[in-house]
Structure 1
């Protein structure tokens, strides 16, 4: 299963550890988990806390059950997170492949232009007036996460693998 949610990237991967520790070991309701994420990881809003819970699930650091989210006890490093990111976050692997195939750097707009065909039709129909803006932002976030996870770098006004 691939996860579509991509939160705003933090300044450093240290925040992933903070967010991971904010997820309860014993499953709590989604509302309780969001409140805990807000309190323990200083996530400012409930919708952002929910994004983080889902993203941590994509990275294999949380799981969602019938009663809510719980923390996965797991040792991880940047390489492990990067592999989960590519494997379980929708569009990540495709975007990294686009960077790898590029003859130089790609700006976020150039990356989106090359990625655009990957956006599912149902997403285009879901937000017919704004899907391009929504997905351009998602591509930008994916690129920034790729940099944090050492899958890409920022140089000369663009991204490269």
Structure 2
């Protein structure tokens, strides 16, 4: 019951925040700003459905209402935990798909819409990491060198392997 209540509260808050995000916008379409990557900022003309050059409260909340209706799969005017979970998952998948598209746009050197290993590793070929690990510069990484590097990483992460804010050494 507690889990359902928490999930319900979070989803309703996310849906409600959609209208605030529409009202406040963040710049170019698709940018990651205060709202994050979840929603694109609509154009004024898209919100001004009666084309009178002004936004009424109804026009401003229409996108929020549409998202609620979309989440309400059975149309009963209520959101069940299952409907909310499905909406959250759909939003997650949409964000992931947009992230993949942006990654391909950034890294696709030959513009074929696909990434090769070379394209994916062009910025990080692993040589810099190897050189940092190979402290004695003998061309191989010993267990001791690896352990020292691991310990430095743990310190950056607050002593907990795999947790915290550290993302390597500089």
How does the TM-score come out when normalised to structure 2? 0.25
Question: Which of 1 and 2 has greater Rg?
Answer: 2
Higher strand share: 1
